[in-house]
């Protein structure tokens, strides 16, 4: 059994790579819900949906989120009414949020609804939210900021939701803090701790350490469970040559006082990961990574390059320390 701690796009690609070499029935993904939001009265779980749509081969290839062959008529109507349209919900994607919201209102928990959605897409793996409870990533603005000419200026120190930072402000504004609202009172979703305790291998996907992996670890019990399995935990660095392949992980690391390199990732992960996989571009940092007490594997990690995803998956599967 293989368990993957997952955020959105990078994790979905890692999972797709792993499924090239292991049977889906052997794989469990524990997915970040800190990016979730309630909008138009709907419960939206971006990372769960990105993982689901990617593994169903239904992801929009241009964006890495949302559905392929999407139409945007409801968004056009929202714009006509002057409603909230900065968070783009396509017409097909809306069906997922309508279904999830209805089922949650009926009393189903997020893990149950996620299982129903992934079954409807015929995914063979198990996809679990890290928690069924409300856990929300909140960031603090480091400088005064307006999201656009028609929105009020928010003062430095103001807290905003993750999607107000990521999508509404195109993650271009500096931040001074990240916290996970509700984390202390949350519980791991059913099956999460067992998936960590019983796995042969636990993979930390190449997702943003601060806003994709950290919210999963913030659910009481999950970090401790990983620490206990440290020798079987292998992480793939989302930072290559000091830059994130996608998203703001490099800037966030620097803004929040971490090293924006594989060394920053090593410092954040060495307590609960025995091995860190870094890209060939960071070969010169291998011994510095090892000085954190981590086993370090250097290989090609850019999964959009031909042949890399399968070889990375094989490396990851053989790479945990024993
Ligand atoms: N990302 C954007 O950059 N702009 C959007 O309008 C947007 C809408 C959206 C709708 C549903 C969904 O599942 C994801 C969506 N994303 C959008 C992606 C999402 O904000 C981020 O990829 C993750 O939260 C970060 O992992």
pLDDT tens-digit series, residues 173-189: 999 999 999 999 999 99
User: Which stretch of 119-128, 137-146, 215-224, 301-310 has the lowest confidence by average pLDDT?
Assistant: 301-310
Average pLDDT over residues 270-298: 98
* CA dist., res. 314 & res. 87, Å (int): 37
Structure tokens at 287: 């011994």
Question: What pLDDT, on the 0 to 100 scale, is given for residue 320?
Answer: 61
To the question of pTM greater than 0.95 for the whole model, the response is: yes
Distance from Cα 65 to the centre of ligand 1, integer Å: 6
- In this predicted structure, the answer to whether residue 158 has a pLDDT above a threshold of 50 is yes
- In this predicted structure, the answer to whether residue 130 has a pLDDT above a threshold of 50 is yes
Structure tokens at 18: 């792993």
Q: State which of 87, 127, 171, 207 you would mutate to test the pocket of ligand 1, scoring each by most atoms of that ligand within 8 A of its C-beta.
A: 87
Q: Is the minimum distance from the CB of 163 to ligand 1 under 6 angstroms?
A: yes
Q: How many CB atoms lie within 10 A of CB 93?
A: 20
Question: What pLDDT, on the 0 to 100 scale, is given for residue 257?
Answer: 97
Give the domains, in start order, of the chain with CATH numbers. 136-181 (no CATH), 208-319 (3.40.50.10680)
Q: State which of 34, 46, 210 you would mutate to test the pocket of ligand 1, scoring each by most atoms of that ligand within 8 A of its C-beta.
A: 46
Question: What pLDDT, on the 0 to 100 scale, is given for residue 322?
Answer: 46
Kindly report, residue by residue over 51-90, the tens digit of the pLDDT. Answer: 999 999 999 999 999 999 999 999 999 999 999 999 999 9
- In this predicted structure, the answer to whether residue 150 has a pLDDT above a threshold of 90 is no
Q: State which of 167, 208, 238 you would mutate to test the pocket of ligand 1, scoring each by most atoms of that ligand within 8 A of its C-beta.
A: 167
* CA dist., res. 176 & res. 87, Å (int): 23
Q: Is the minimum distance from the CB of 8 to ligand 1 under 6 angstroms?
A: yes
Q: Please identify, by atom number, the ligand 1 atom nearest to the C-alpha of residue 46.
A: 13
Q: Considering the chain, what percentage of its residues have pLDDT values greater than 90?
A: 94
For ligand 1, atom 2, name the residue with the nearest CA.
Answer: 167
Q: Is the minimum distance from the CB of 167 to ligand 1 under 6 angstroms?
A: yes
Residue 139: which of 46, 211, 242, 204 has the closest Cα? 211
pLDDT bracket for residue 321 (50, 70, 90): low
Q: Is the minimum distance from the CB of 89 to ligand 1 under 6 angstroms?
A: yes
Average pLDDT over residues 133-149: 93
Do residues 103 and 83 touch, judged by C-beta distance below 8 A? Answer: no
Roughly what angle, to the nearest 10 degrees, separates helices 110-120 and 46-55?
20
Question: What pLDDT, on the 0 to 100 scale, is given for residue 13?
Answer: 96
Distance from Cα 70 to the centre of ligand 1, integer Å: 14
Q: Please identify, by atom number, the ligand 1 atom nearest to the C-alpha of residue 90.
A: 10
pLDDT bracket for residue 224 (50, 70, 90): very high
Q: Is the minimum distance from the CB of 7 to ligand 1 under 6 angstroms?
A: yes
- In this predicted structure, the answer to whether residue 279 has a pLDDT above a threshold of 80 is yes
Distance from Cα 167 to the centre of ligand 1, integer Å: 7
Q: How many CB atoms lie within 10 A of CB 108?
A: 16
Question: What pLDDT, on the 0 to 100 scale, is given for residue 125?
Answer: 98
The residues, any chain, with a CB within 8 Å of residue 45's CB and separated by 6 or more, are 33, 35, 36, 100, 110, 114, 129
Q: Is the minimum distance from the CB of 47 to ligand 1 under 6 angstroms?
A: yes
Residue 31: which of 170, 219, 224 has the closest Cα? 219
Q: Please identify, by atom number, the ligand 1 atom nearest to the C-alpha of residue 166.
A: 20
Residue with tokens 């060939």: 280
Q: Is the minimum distance from the CB of 165 to ligand 1 under 6 angstroms?
A: no
Average pLDDT over residues 271-292: 98
Sheet containing 175-181: order of strands: 159-161, 136-141, 175-181
For ligand 1, atom 13, name the residue with the nearest CA.
Answer: 46
């Amino acid at each position: 059994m293989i368990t993957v701690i997952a955020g959105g796009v990078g994790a979905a690609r890692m999972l797709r790579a792993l499924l090239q070499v292991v049977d889906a029935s052997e794989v469990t993904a524990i997915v970040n819900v800190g990016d979730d939001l309630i909008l138009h009265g709907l419960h939206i779980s971006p990372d769960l949906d990105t993982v689901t749509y990617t593994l169903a081969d239904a992801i929009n290839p241009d964006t890495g989120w949302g559905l392929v062959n999407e139409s945007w008529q409801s968004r056009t109507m929202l714009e006509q009414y002057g409603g909230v349209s900065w968070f783009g919900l396509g017409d097909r994607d809306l069906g997922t949020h309508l279904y999830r919201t209805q089922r949650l209102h009926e009393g189903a928990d997020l893990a149950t609804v996620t299982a129903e959605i992934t079954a409807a897409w015929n995914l063979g793996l198990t996809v679990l939210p890290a928690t069924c409870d409300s856990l929300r990533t909140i960031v603090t603005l480091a400088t005064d900021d307006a999201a656009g000419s028609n929105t009020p200026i928010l003062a430095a120190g103001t807290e905003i939701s993750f999607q107000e930072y990521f999508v509404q402000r195109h993650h271009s504004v500096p931040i001074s803090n990240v916290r996970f609202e509700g984390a202390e009172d949350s519980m791991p979703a059913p099956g999460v701790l067992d998936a960590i305790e019983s796995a042969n291998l636990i993979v930390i996907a190449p997702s943003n350490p601060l806003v994709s992996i950290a919210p999963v670890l913030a659910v009481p019990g999950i970090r401790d469970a990983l620490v206990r399995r440290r020798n079987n935990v292998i992480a793939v660095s989302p930072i290559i040559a000091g830059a994130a392949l996608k998203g703001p992980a490099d800037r966030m690391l620097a803004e929040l006082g971490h090293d924006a390199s594989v060394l920053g990732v090593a410092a954040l992960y060495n307590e609960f990961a025995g091995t860190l996989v870094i890209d060939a571009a960071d070969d010169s940092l291998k011994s510095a990574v090892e000085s954190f007490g981590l086993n370090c594997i250097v290989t090609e990690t850019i999964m959009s390059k031909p042949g890399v995803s399968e070889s990375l998956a094989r490396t990851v599967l053989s790479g945990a320390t024993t």
